[in-house]
Each structure stands twice: as C-alpha cells, then as structure tokens.
Amino acid sequence: MLMKKLSRISTAITAAAILGISATSAIAADRTLKFQTSANASHFTLAFMKDKWLPIFEQMTGGTLALDFLPLESVVPRRETPEAVSVGILDGDFTAVSYFAGIDPAYALMGDLIAGYDSADQIQTFCSRGGGKEMLQKIHDKHFPGVKVIGCGAYAREAFVSTVAIRGVADLKGLKIRSPEGLAADVFRRAGAAPVSLPGSETYGALEKGVIDAADNSAYANNDANGMNKIAKFPIFPGIHSTPILQLTINQATWDSLTESQQVILSVWFEAAYNDMRRAVDLVDRKLVARDRAAGELTIIDWSQEERDKLRTIAKEAWVAFAESSELAQEAYDTHINFMKEAGLL
C-alpha cells in the first residue's frame, strides 16, 4: 500500500514538473499558486473564474501573488487532490468534496446532502455561518493533515440530463443513472434506479451510446457548454437532488508562507468570487432555459413540489444510514441538521 501511494505521488510530481508547477513559479505576478479544480476545461464556471476573478485577485495583492486554476485531473486524479495538497504537490484545490466519499462517509454528507437544501444560497450560509467550513476542516485534519480550508459553498442545483422523460420518483425505477459514488448513488438506488459510477468526462459518450439513460452532471450552463442537451433532450431544471459543495483548500505550509494581508485577501476574495459565480451561473442557467423552451427542441421538466418531497423523504433515510458509518459522519450530519433547524428548513 505504501509503495503504491509513493508511486502515485511520484507520478503526480512528474506531472507537476511537466506543467511547471512549483511554489515559486510565476506568470505575471511575483508568485503564482496552482489550484486544481473539479471543472472540465469547457465549463462556464472555470472560464468565469479565470477570466474575471483570478485577475481581480492579482490586483488585490498588488501583483505580489496570483492564482492559476487548472482543469479536472490536470495533475492528479480527482479523488487524490487532498493528498496532493497535503504533501505540497498542489498549492491548493477548488474541488467537489463528494469526490472523497470513499475515504470517509463524512465527506459524502459534507459534499452533498442529497435533496436536503432548496438553494445554493442556503448552503453558502451553512458553510460560512453554520459550521460547515469548520466541520470540513475537522474531517481533513483527521485524514489529510496539512490541508487548510479557506472556504466552501455550492454554486447551483445541478440540472439533471436525461434521454427519457422523468417526471417524478416513479419514473426513476429501472433507469441507469450516472452518479457519484456514495450518498447520491445510495439515494438513487433507494428510489429504484441503477446508479453507474462514471467520471464526468465519460458522461457524454455514455449517454450517446445508451450505456446510461440519465446523469447527475452539472449546472445547466455547464451541460449546455458540454453539448449534453444535444443528446439528452429531457433535462430536469431546477435539479431534483444535487447541490454539490466545492471546497477551496490550500497547503498549510503554503498558507503559512503568505503574508497576513495575503491570507486575508485570499479569504475575502473567495467569498466575493464564489458569491458572484453563484449569481452568474443562476442567471446564465435561466437565460439558457428560456432560450431552449422557446426553441422547442428540448422538453425541460420541472418536478412538482410533491415529487421533490417524495425524493427528500427517500434521501433522509440515506442521510441517517451514512451518519451511522463513522463518528465524523455523525458529526457532519448533526452539523447539517442543527443548521437546518436553526434556519427553519426542518
């Protein structure tokens, strides 16, 4: 196991060297930090951050520090980003937390409380004011010492892409659905579907070839950019279950090497950038949905509240089951429930 782990790290170091990744590499600023993301190169969200908010960050630091956001799996596999950050292969990551569900079910509950929240705004508040950021840090402290959480949040309810019409819970029965491993897959299984674990990069081909019927994939804007709606003519919007939480983390030694003002800027910048991205994605999603409805080539389905409540009832059973899997999972579950009660969501 140790040799296998060292081999993965060696491979990642080689990849990092090829890309010119180091703590002292620079593009225009005095110093540039490399963050791997969970976004494909074509995603609207990655372009939005790179085009608008990364230049703002450099301006805020007066050119002393810059960030570079890399597409999914540019340096290491998506599930290995915390390890890569902890040992300094990456300076940081901006990644979906649910990717790490196989390490501890606590990551599944922190990554996406399936069908739990009604909006990304609620999750943003949970992360910044409801104990979510602190809970995520506690999980990392156990499994990946050396990872510091700058912040977390959700930017959209994922639009569900489908090649068949799914108008309620009953229509999920027997469908092959691409889903992340862990909590999402368990919810679909409880609803009668057959979850299939596939990386996002393989979703288009799997839909096109009929390997899967539908997919938990991404925001409507990202699905549009990837061409998903060209082959999956029955998207569900707003999404029915998934509002994934992304984390911004940094290597602790890298963090400690920053000046106090740079640390403050990074923290404040993340809150501002993420809130802006969330609003931008929502606006673009709605514009695209209006365009596609007017064109008439897609059947865009919006589940009734009754059907959404049915799925949430099923999901609650999965939440409890995952909470019983580890002490940290129980604590993550309790953190969610306490916040939701305080906010009047339960």
b/e map of 101-137 (b: 16 or more CB within 10 Å)? bebbbbbbbbbbbbbbbeebebbbbbbbebbbbebbb
Q: Residue type for 221, please?
A: A
- First-last CA distance in the chain: 43
- Does residue 24 sit within a domain? yes
Q: Which of 283, 304, 334 is the last residue of a domain?
A: 283
Distance CA 33, CA 251 (A): 10
Assess whether 125 and 94 both reside in one domain.
Answer: yes
75 neighbors 89 (Cβ within 8 angstroms): yes
Residues with Cβ within 8 Å of residue 46, at least 6 apart in sequence: 37, 39, 40, 69, 71
**What is the structure's pLDDT at 136?**
98
Please provide the average confidence, as pLDDT, over all residues in the chain: 89
Q: Residue type for 178, please?
A: R
Give the domain range for residue 86. Answer: 2-156+244-283
- Does residue 179 sit within a domain? yes
- Does residue 288 sit within a domain? no
Assess whether 266 and 301 both reside in one domain.
Answer: no
**What is the structure's pLDDT at 16?**
42
**What is the structure's pLDDT at 277?**
94
φ, ψ at 38 (rounded to 5°): -105, 20
Per-residue pLDDT tens listing for the chain (346 residues): 433 443 444 444 444 443 444 333 334 679 999 999 999 888 888 999 999 999 999 999 999 999 999 999 999 999 999 999 999 999 999 999 988 988 999 999 999 999 899 889 999 999 999 999 999 999 999 999 999 999 999 988 888 899 999 999 999 999 999 987 778 889 999 999 999 988 777 889 999 999 999 998 778 888 898 899 889 999 999 988 888 899 999 999 999 999 999 999 999 999 999 999 999 989 999 999 999 999 999 999 999 999 999 999 999 999 999 999 999 999 999 999 999 999 888 7
**What is the structure's pLDDT at 40?**
87
- Does residue 304 sit within a domain? yes
- Does residue 289 sit within a domain? no
Assess whether 224 and 104 both reside in one domain.
Answer: no
Domain at 314, CATH number = 3.40.190.170
- Does residue 190 sit within a domain? yes
Distance CA 288, CA 58 (A): 31
Q: Which of 283, 306, 332 is the last residue of a domain?
A: 283
What percentage of residues in the chain have a pLDDT greater than 70? 92
- Does residue 271 sit within a domain? yes
Assess whether 121 and 195 both reside in one domain.
Answer: no
Assess whether 110 and 165 both reside in one domain.
Answer: no
Assess whether 118 and 43 both reside in one domain.
Answer: yes
pTM exceeds 0.75 for this model: yes
Element at 150 (helix H, strand E): strand 147-153
Assess whether 192 and 309 both reside in one domain.
Answer: yes
Assess whether 90 and 185 both reside in one domain.
Answer: no
Assess whether 255 and 304 both reside in one domain.
Answer: no
CA quadruple 174, 179, 181, 186: dihedral sign? negative
CB atoms within 10 A of CB 60: 18
Structural domains counted in the chain: 2
Beta pairing partners, 92:
35, 250
Assess whether 26 and 139 both reside in one domain.
Answer: yes
Q: What DSSP letter does each residue of 163-211 carry, written as one string?
A: SS---SGGGGTT-EEE--TTHHHHHHHHTT-EEE---GGGHHHHHHHTS
b/e map of 269-299 (b: 16 or more CB within 10 Å)? bbbebbbbbbebbbebbeebbeebeeeeebe
Assess whether 41 and 90 both reside in one domain.
Answer: yes
Assess whether 172 and 120 both reside in one domain.
Answer: no
SS3 100: helix
